[in-house]
Structure 1
Amino acid sequence: MIAHLQNIVISANCSVGEYCCIFHGTTMGISVGTDDHGGCPKLGDGVTICTGAGVFGDIRVADGVTIAANAVVVKSVPDSNVVVGGIPARVISKNAGWSMLKFKDSLK
């Protein structure tokens, strides 16, 4: 789900799981100046990327993760259902409280 279709940049090589939500002003792609050979992010299912966040490099984001507004994610997020935020992003909460995975379950 793309909540607001404005200023979203996603590299063609990125992978986005099912039931993800991407807000406006987000960018996903390679991390320039690293030796990951242009690898792009891989998002699990139910990931939410809030306004203005950036997700860069050959990294993986686990299921149900919420990426806070304006966060810059440059390392993998292996734990599910956490909130990451800051520059560079780190876990700021062990419980997202709400996720797209819960929303998906309400559709059944």
Structure 2
Amino acid sequence: MPAHPLRALREDVAAVKRRDPAARSTAEILLAYSGMHAVWAYRVAHRWWLSPGLKLPARLLSQFARARTGVEIHPGARIGRRLVIDHGMSVVIGETAVIGNDVLIYHGVTLGGKERRGDAKRHPTVGDDVVIGAGAKLIGDISIGAHSVVGANAVVTKDFPEHSVLTGVPAENRARRG
């Protein structure tokens, strides 16, 4: 069940403070963090998307947020709590993407579809507590297990289990050390 909007806002601010050492104050996060603005707009657009007759306004809001933040989140995506999009620019999250709780996404990340299949699931599912590095591309109806790390510029096109460390093109699971 989603958190109350004010509680969710507090959770988001706390998540940014926890994940971004450059975050100096609550005011700075509220006013200047475009990744957070994109997530907050997504939440409104997602509610509209689920309401009959509001799909067009939902898409318009998502496109307005994209123009303002550089982050495109389709209102049909399903996103858990405390998502942090650090630096934000050029992040794309597709319509059937599913993102768990406590996920950190850096700039230039794509959670994209691989083929046109109407309303079928065609975008990635990302588990809880996953970090996705700058420029990574996760393509297709794939699953990334919880507590995984996707390295910068990795291209992921197949499923990986929990606690994976994914690097390369195409991405392979590298053993964790320590």
**TM-score category by the smaller chain?**
0.7 to 0.9
Would you identify which runs of 4 or more consecutive aligned residues in structure 1 move more than 3 Å?
A: none
Contact map agreement 1:43 1:60 (CA 8 A) in 2: yes
Deviations 1:12-62 (A, max 9, x none): 2100000000000010111148xxx66111010001100000001111110
Of the three residues 111, 114, 138, the one matched with 1:28 is 111
> Looking at both structures, which has the greater relative contact order when contacts are Cα pairs under 8 Å and sequence separation is at least 6?
1
Q: In 2, Cα distance between the equivalents of 1:32 and 1:39?
A: 7
Partner of 1:62: 145
TM-score by length of 2: 0.49
Of the three residues 153, 156, 163, the one matched with 1:81 is 163
Contact map agreement 1:60 1:76 (CA 8 A) in 2: yes
Alignment of 1:1-108 (within 5 A): 1-32=84-115, 39-78=122-161, 80-95=162-177
- Aligned-pair CA distance for 1:6: 0.5
Answer with 24-33 or 82-91: which moved more: 24-33
Q: What stretches of structure 1 of length at least 5 have no aligned partner?
A: 98-108
Q: In 2, Cα distance between the equivalents of 1:51 and 1:93?
A: 20
Flag the structure with higher helix content: 2
- Aligned-pair CA distance for 1:72: 0.2
Higher-Rg structure is 2
Distance 1:30 1:19, change over 3 A: same
Aligned length: 93
Letter of the aligned partner of 1:81 in structure 2? H
Contact map agreement 1:72 1:89 (CA 8 A) in 2: yes
Q: In 2, Cα distance between the equivalents of 1:50 and 1:94?
A: 16
Percent identity between the two aligned chains: 35
